[in-house]
């Protein structure tokens, strides 16, 4: 557990240096809300393609260390380019290159960590929580740094952390995979078709995309909103840190909540928590009230994200679980990020950021209703009490047993 935990600490430290502040940086170089939204959506679109490509390379080489080193150095160089970009087209090039490298690192680390844990996969939450803890510390530290340096200072932390991620990946991950027998079972393509055809899972997929779209609409611009209300970058860091601080213990306690309530209801609770956070931010009269709403988002992320993993794991057979997890937690998340970022830029420019958050809150409530209709208000039993919705015979075998971990982040 210790070796991958070290890599998680460094890698998610770089996430904490980048994600909370990049929209502020874009605005500091003179870009309007529409362009900020387009750039954030562009990064998500690149990640949608690049992350599986890096995973395929690692699978082909049967070694994650080399690809992780290359991806980290690539992303570090791209961050230097982005730090010097001022024109919209150069900023866009920097965003594309950074996303192309950065997006592959988390999935490869996840995949190797799952392999290293073997039968003790339940301990993944403990390893992953070290990354969230690092996110809290680094986001707060970078917020204090930017008060002195201005928004470009985020790259003073980001580039070294990405290089350090490469170094720790090489030193602490034994990347060579042991050869193993591949069982026969439904394959990824036929498995995806079977999942989407299922009425409940198909509706849940739609609800997931809607939830992540409205969440992305809020998260893409909340940092800018905090600054506009009079907050500084240290307060921005506190907002993101508080959400992650709530998220970590809830993730670790999720199995207990799931046994008492069931993952289906936790999905609905998580969706409504996202809606409550966004509504509170829309109504907040000062930056302090915005920050006070942050912990509600931690409830939403812990319950909806982990709840999705749990629900899908019980709803499909083992042979296509990895494929289904990638569809719900990877594809749905990135599609939501693309749609939410782009639409939010347009709505925010037309209605103001408060208006954007109001629209996003209503949209999240509607998305929660779709999720409720899919996973709770169904004639079928909750997934932790039922046989898999998609049977082994719903898809033709292609030799993939579906036990490989997903390549999403």
**Span 199-210, average pLDDT:** 90
What torsion do the CA atoms of 138, 142, 145, 150 make, to the nearest 10 degrees?
170
Higher per-residue pLDDT: 17 or 57:
17
Per the listing, tokens 């990064």 go with 43
Residue 112: pLDDT band with limits 50, 70, 90 = confident
Would you say residue 260 has pLDDT above 70?
A: yes
Residue 319 is predicted with a pLDDT of 61
Would you say residue 103 has pLDDT above 80?
A: yes
Would you say residue 204 has pLDDT above 80?
A: yes
**Span 11-39, average pLDDT:** 93
Residue 302 is predicted with a pLDDT of 87
Residue 270 is predicted with a pLDDT of 95
Supply the Cα-derived Rg of the chain in whole angstroms.
Answer: 20
Residue 392 is predicted with a pLDDT of 52
Higher per-residue pLDDT: 16 or 199:
16
Residue 192: pLDDT band with limits 50, 70, 90 = low
Would you say residue 395 has pLDDT above 60?
A: no
Phi-psi region of 198 (alpha: psi -120 to 50; beta: other; left: phi over 0): beta
Residue 305 is predicted with a pLDDT of 83
Q: 164-168: long-range contacts at Cβ-Cβ below 8 A with a sequence spacing of 24 or more? A: 164/10, 165/7, 165/10, 165/11, 165/14, 165/68, 165/72, 165/105, 166/68, 166/69, 166/70, 166/71, 166/72, 166/73, 166/76, 167/69, 168/6, 168/7, 168/10
pLDDT tens across 363-377, in order? 999 999 999 999 987
- Please name the residues in contact with 5: beta carbons below 8 A apart, sequence gap of 6 or more: 127, 130
Residue 181 is predicted with a pLDDT of 45
Average pLDDT across the chain, whole number: 83
CA-nearest of 203, 189, 170, 149 to 315 is 203
Q: 117-121: long-range contacts at Cβ-Cβ below 8 A with a sequence spacing of 24 or more? A: 117/1
Residue 398: pLDDT band with limits 50, 70, 90 = very low
**Span 165-192, average pLDDT:** 63
Higher per-residue pLDDT: 140 or 311:
140
Q: Give, in order, the Cα–Cα distances in Å from 360 to each of 126, 192, 205, 246, 311.
A: 32, 29, 19, 22, 25
Residue 120 is predicted with a pLDDT of 61
**Span 103-127, average pLDDT:** 73
pLDDT tens across 211-243, in order? 999 999 999 999 999 999 999 999 999 999 999
d(CA 265, CA 192): 24
- Residue 30's φ and ψ, nearest 5 degrees, are 95, 15
For the chain, domains (ranges, CATH) are: 1-176 (1.20.1250.20), 184-404 (1.20.1250.20)
Residue 175: pLDDT band with limits 50, 70, 90 = very low
**Span 291-308, average pLDDT:** 91
Residue 203 is predicted with a pLDDT of 92
Residues 360 and 218: beta-carbon distance below 8 Å: yes
**Span 340-363, average pLDDT:** 94
Would you say residue 199 has pLDDT above 90?
A: no
Q: What pTM value is reported for the model? A: 0.79
Q: What length does the chain have?
A: 409
Higher per-residue pLDDT: 102 or 192:
102
d(CA 164, CA 136): 18
Residue 26 is predicted with a pLDDT of 94
pLDDT tens across 49-90, in order? 888 788 778 777 878 888 899 999 999 999 999 999 888 999
Residue 107 is predicted with a pLDDT of 77
């Amino acid at each position: 557990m210790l070796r991958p935990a070290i890599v998680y600490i460094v890698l998610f430290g770089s996430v904490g240096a980048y994600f909370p502040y990049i929209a502020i940086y874009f605005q500091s170089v003179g870009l309007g809300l529409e362009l900020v939204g387009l750039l954030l959506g562009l990064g998500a679109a690149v990640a949608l393609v690049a992350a599986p490509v890096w995973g395929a390379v690692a699978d082909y080489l049967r070694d994650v260390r080399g690809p992780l080193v290359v991806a980290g150095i690539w992303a570090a160089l791209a961050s230097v380019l982005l730090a010097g970009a001022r024109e919209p087209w150069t900023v866009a090039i920097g965003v594309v290159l950074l996303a192309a490298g950065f997006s592959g690192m988390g999935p490869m680390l996840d995949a190797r960590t799952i392999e290293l844990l073997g039968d003790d996969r339940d301990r993944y939450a403990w390893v992953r929580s070290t990354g969230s803890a690092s996110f809290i510390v680094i986001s707060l530290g970078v917020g204090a740094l930017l008060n002195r340096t201005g928004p470009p200072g985020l790259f003073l932390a980001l580039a070294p952390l990405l290089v350090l991620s490469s170094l720790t990946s090489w030193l602490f991950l034994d990347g060579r995979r042991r050869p193993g027998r591949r069982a026969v079972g439904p394959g990824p393509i036929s498995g995806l078709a079977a999942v989407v055809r299922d009425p409940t899972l198909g509706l849940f997929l739609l609800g997931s995309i809607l939830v992540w779209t409205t969440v992305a609409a809020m998260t893409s611009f909340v940092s800018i909103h905090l600054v506009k209300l009079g907050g500084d970058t240290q307060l921005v860091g506190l907002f993101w840190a508080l959400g992650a601080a709530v998220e970590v213990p809830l993730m670790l306690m999720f199995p207990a909540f799931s046994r008492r309530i069931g993952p289906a209801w936790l999905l609905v609770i998580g969706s409504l928590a996202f809606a409550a956070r966004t509504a509170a931010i829309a109504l907040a009269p000062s930056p302090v009230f915005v920050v006070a709403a942050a912990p509600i988002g931690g409830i939403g992320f812990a319950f909806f994200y982990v709840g999705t993993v749990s629900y899908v794991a019980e709803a499909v057979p083992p042979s296509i679980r990895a494929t289904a997890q990638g569809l719900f937690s990877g594809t749905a998340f990135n599609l939501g990020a693309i749609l939410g970022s782009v639409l939010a830029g347009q709505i925010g420019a037309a209605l103001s950021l408060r208006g954007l958050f109001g629209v996003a809150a209503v949209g999240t409530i509607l998305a929660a209703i779709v999720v409720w209709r899919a996973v709770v208000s169904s004639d079928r039993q909750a997934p932790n009490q039922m046989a898999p919705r998609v049977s082994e015979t719903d898809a033709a075998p292609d030799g993939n047993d579906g036990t490989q971990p997903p390549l999403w982040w």
